């Protein structure tokens, strides 16, 4: 996926700590971006909307619980 990130509006969970150890997410229109808040110029993982929905549903359903 080749996506323009220049206009991305990154956000993190409201419950995140101020120490910066967070991930940030951005709605990129045709995809969803995920990055490390400590390295905003670093790599960005991108997912299709379907992939992101599958991840969120799995997390809500406890699929990734230890």
How do residues 5-52 score in pLDDT, each as one tens digit? 888 999 988 777 766 678 999 999 989 999 998 898 999 999 999 999
Do the Cβ atoms of 13 and 41 come closer than 8 Å?
no
User: pLDDT per residue over 53-63, tens digit each?
Assistant: 999 999 999 99
| CA 51/CA 17 separation, integer angstroms | 27
- pTM equals 0.80
Residue linked to tokens 């150890």: 21
């Amino acid at each position: 996926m080749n996506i323009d990130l220049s206009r991305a509006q990154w956000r993190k969970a409201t419950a995140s700590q101020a120490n910066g150890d967070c991930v940030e997410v951005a709605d990129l229109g045709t995809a969803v971006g995920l990055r490390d808040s400590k390295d905003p110029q670093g790599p960005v993982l991108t997912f299709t909307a379907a992939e992101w929905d599958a991840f969120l549903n799995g997390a809500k359903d406890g699929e990734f619980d230890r």
